[in-house]
Amino acid sequence: MQYWLMKSEPAEVSIDHALAAKDSTVAWTGVRNYQARNFMRDQMRIGDGVLFYHSSCAEPGIAGLAEVASTAYPDPTQFERDSHYFDPKASPENPRWMLVDVRARRKTRLLSLTELRADPALASLQILQRGSRLSITPVTPDEWQGIMQKLELK
């Protein structure tokens, strides 16, 4: 069992969105970075813990908890001509982009980027590293625990 932090723009898919979806589950479409894709394709397992992070918004930070709900499969948006995520180099026979389903578990109080940065125990979080842009990053058990503590969850 592993832990992950997954960024989503709340204007696209927020934690509220995800919770309101059928089975509280959304397909994690639109990842177009190989490293992030490889995490989903090669390392994610059903049941892995996910920190649901809101990015590119007024208050960036961790907004909820979720879990990986499927193994990887081709991102359908890569084949949709009208999609912003269309990839002309991808074909159903030769898909380039994979995704997993993510099931939202609960909304949390907003653990802001500022608050994350202020905690020395969380300094190792990958998203806090200089220049880090990856939309999906692994989270260590210690980091996960630290965040649960801050959220006063188990």
Partner DNA sequence: GCCAACGTTGGC
109 to 138: interface string for DNA, x by CB under 7 A: ----xx------------x--xxxxxx---
Tell me which of 11, 47, 56, 71 binds DNA, using CB under 7 A.
56
Indicate left, alpha or beta for 23 from its phi (over 0: left) and psi (-120 to 50: alpha): left
- Subset of 91-110 contacting DNA (CB under 7 A): none
Residues that contact DNA, how many (by CB under 7 A)? 18
Per-residue binder mask for DNA (CB under 7 A), 12-41, x = binder: --------------------xxxx------
Question: DSSP secondary-structure letter at 67?
Answer: E
**By CB under 7 A, is residue 60 in contact with DNA?**
yes
- Which stretch of DSSP H or E encloses residue 34? helix 34-38
Structure tokens at 122: 């969380």
Cα–Cα dist 8/136, whole Å: 10
The distance of closest approach from Cβ of residue 96 to DNA in the complex, given in angstroms and rounded to an integer, is 9
Q: Quick one: which of 59, 40, 42 has its CA closest to 50?
A: 40
